[in-house]
């Protein structure tokens, strides 16, 4: 894994993923270190003046009215971090904490925070050593930044708190730092505040959710195509000219994906055979429109993420002309909104996938498939309860789609009287994304079984080459096909791994080439 170099002008989404998920090492550019040092000179000059400056020589939040004398300022920074490291609940995932730290380091490298170079260098050293602070589920309101999560990270920088080593074992922080030759940082003016006053946790989770959802939307196009085949639907609705007259780019991309997966299918187009129907149901016919709207939502979220990735989020900030100014850039509303939008898109994509699954299992609507795709309906239940599980996941995602960002609860004695709840939006989105992968996995099981039942013993009905590749790869991955009832949970787990790990899309692309 190559090193990720952090400059003074932000980072890319690929850098976040490389560090958070790939374990890439980080280094600070010479330009960044020069800018950090220059901003520090400004802060130190202000600290020497008698006039109070927020975050440098005053308290914080509702306590900002108190001027802090020079001999108490190191204690002020330590107290800030210790008191704000007040998270509760389960630990958040390692990749989230690494993203959180990396993105905070990105802002430190901007030369707008006023920390000393050693603070940024020590943060980089923690990442490179694989030392991951213990961060808890609850503690951020998404305004004044992800305060508690970032404080737990800053505490480890000071040589305190809790952390795990590269082996995943939680050990005493002084022992971990010493083992890797890292000296704890004695924080000075402004530095504690600079370490905790950012939207880095919610941004990191947004970047990772976008990465996951991009793959899952492609996977959903593949399973929708398989469902269309299994239900003998018509692929005429996927014609490019139909989508050109409603020019949403995501819709066109999903329709093209489905069209390519279905190329060469002998199953599509039989909707007028034994039980004529003028049009397919919405869950089949409108699959590109629903998935496409979600794709466009992901694209909008990436636009917001890209802006945040080149932002310097702190309060106060050191401006290029040397002024140190208070601001409200730490408010998480821009990130919180798109996190909530994505949860809505994930819920709706799962909802339409479940409707296709239900149609495949319903003898009265599946156009000749056996009830519940069972081997011997009545004796066997087939995929009846798999659809129950899918429905439960869909229902949970609908609850998770309720926006967090419409809520606000005042804090800090009404100084922080409107907050974004962006961290909460991010946490529920992570669950929604995982649920979506399971929902798609169930549709895969039903659609693949439906296709196999169609082609069994038929000389006319032949699945598309891409579908055949998917079926072969799925069976090799442990996703069982038609047959008498068996213990179904292992099949569902294998299908989830096949979808989440990229095997489904890779199998289709082995025939179609890269899909959007």
Residue with tokens 């809790």, as numbered in its chain: 162
Q: Could you list the active site residues?
A: 54
**Tokens standing for residue 315:** 């309060």
CA atoms of 351 and 347, how far apart (whole Å)? 6
Q: Indicate the DSSP class of residue 379.
A: T
Residue with tokens 């630990």, as numbered in its chain: 91
Q: Do the Cβ atoms of 405 and 316 come closer than 8 Å?
A: no
CA atoms of 130 and 98, how far apart (whole Å)? 9
CA atoms of 420 and 410, how far apart (whole Å)? 11
- Name the nearest CA neighbour of 449 among 231, 230, 240: 230
CA atoms of 154 and 508, how far apart (whole Å)? 45
CA atoms of 41 and 114, how far apart (whole Å)? 8
Q: Give 83-86's long-range contacts (Cβ < 8 A, gap of 24+).
A: 84/147, 84/148, 84/151, 84/196, 85/148, 85/151, 85/152, 85/154, 85/155, 85/161, 86/139, 86/148, 86/151
Total residues found in the chain within this entry: 516
Q: Do the Cβ atoms of 479 and 495 come closer than 8 Å?
A: yes
CA atoms of 1 and 21, how far apart (whole Å)? 11
- Name the nearest CA neighbour of 239 among 255, 227, 254, 225: 255
CA atoms of 231 and 235, how far apart (whole Å)? 11
Q: Do the Cβ atoms of 475 and 451 come closer than 8 Å?
A: no
Neighbour tally for 390: CB within 10 Å:
26
Q: Do the Cβ atoms of 105 and 127 come closer than 8 Å?
A: yes
| Cα 224 → chain centroid | 23
Q: Classify 29 as helix, strand or coil.
A: coil
Rounded to 10 degrees, the C-alpha dihedral 331/332/335/340 comes to -140
Q: Indicate the DSSP class of residue 420.
A: -
Report the DSSP beta bridge partners of residue 132: 164
Question: Would you report the helix, strand and coil content of the chain in percent, each value rounded to 5?
Answer: 55, 5, 35
**Tokens standing for residue 148:** 């508690």
């Amino acid at each position: 894994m190559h090193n990720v170099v952090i400059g003074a002008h932000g980072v890319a989404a690929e850098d976040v993923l490389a560090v958070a998920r790939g374990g890439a090492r980080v280094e600070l550019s010479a330009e960044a270190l020069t800018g950090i040092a220059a901003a520090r000179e400004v802060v130190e000059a202000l600290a020497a003046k008698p006039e109070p400056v927020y975050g440098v020589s005053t308290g914080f939040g509702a306590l900002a009215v108190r001027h802090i004398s020079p001999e108490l300022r190191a204690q002020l920074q330590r107290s800030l971090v210790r008191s704000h490291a007040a998270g509760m609940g389960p630990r958040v995932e390692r990749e989230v904490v690494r993203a959180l730290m990396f993105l905070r380091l990105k802002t430190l490298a901007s030369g707008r925070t006023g920390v000393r170079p050693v603070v940024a260098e020590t943060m980089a050293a923690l990442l490179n050593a694989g030392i991951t602070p213990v961060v808890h589920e609850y503690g951020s309101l998404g305004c004044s930044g992800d305060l508690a999560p970032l404080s737990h990270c800053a505490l480890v920088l000071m040589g305190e708190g809790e952390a795990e080593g590269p082996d995943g074992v939680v050990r005493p922080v002084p022992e971990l730092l010493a083992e890797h030759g890292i000296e704890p940082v004695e924080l000075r003016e402004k530095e504690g505040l600079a370490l905790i006053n950012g939207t880095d946790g919610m941004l990191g989770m947004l970047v990772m959710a976008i990465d996951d959802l991009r793959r899952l939307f492609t996977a959903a196009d593949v399973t929708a195509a398989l469902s269309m085949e299994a239900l003998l639907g018509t692929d005429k609705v996927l014609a490019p000219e139909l989508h050109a007259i409603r020019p949403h780019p995501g819709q066109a991309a999903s329709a093209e994906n489905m069209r390519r997966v279905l190329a060469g299918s002998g199953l599509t187009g039989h909707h007028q055979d034994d039980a004529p129907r003028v049009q397919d149901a919405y869950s089949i016919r409108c699959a590109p429109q629903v998935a496409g709207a979600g794709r466009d939502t992901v694209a909008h979220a990436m636009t917001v993420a890209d802006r945040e990735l080149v932002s310097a989020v702190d309060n106060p900030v050191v401006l290029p002309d040397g002024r140190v100014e208070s601001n409200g850039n730490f408010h998480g509303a821009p990130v919180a909104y798109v996190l909530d939008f994505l949860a809505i898109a994930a819920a709706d994509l799962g909802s339409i996938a479940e409707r296709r699954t239900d149609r495949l299992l319903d003898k009265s609507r599946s156009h000749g498939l056996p009830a519940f795709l069972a081997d011997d309906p009545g004796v066997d239940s087939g995929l009846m309860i798999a659809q129950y599980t899918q429905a439960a996941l869909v229902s949970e995602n609908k609850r998770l789609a309720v926006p967090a960002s419409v809520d606000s609860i005042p804090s800090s004695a009404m100084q922080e009287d409107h907050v974004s709840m962006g961290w909460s939006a991010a946490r529920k989105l992570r669950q929604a994304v995982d649920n979506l992968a399971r929902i798609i996995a169930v549709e895969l099981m039903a659609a693949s079984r439906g296709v196999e039942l169609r082609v069994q013993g038929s000389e006319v009905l032949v699945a598309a080459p891409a579908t055949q590749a998917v079926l072969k790869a799925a069976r090799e991955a442990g996703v069982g096909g038609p047959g008498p009832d068996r213990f179904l949970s292992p099949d569902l787990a294998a299908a989830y791994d096949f979808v989440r790990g990229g095997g489904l899309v890779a199998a289709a692309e082995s025939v179609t080439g890269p899909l959007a």
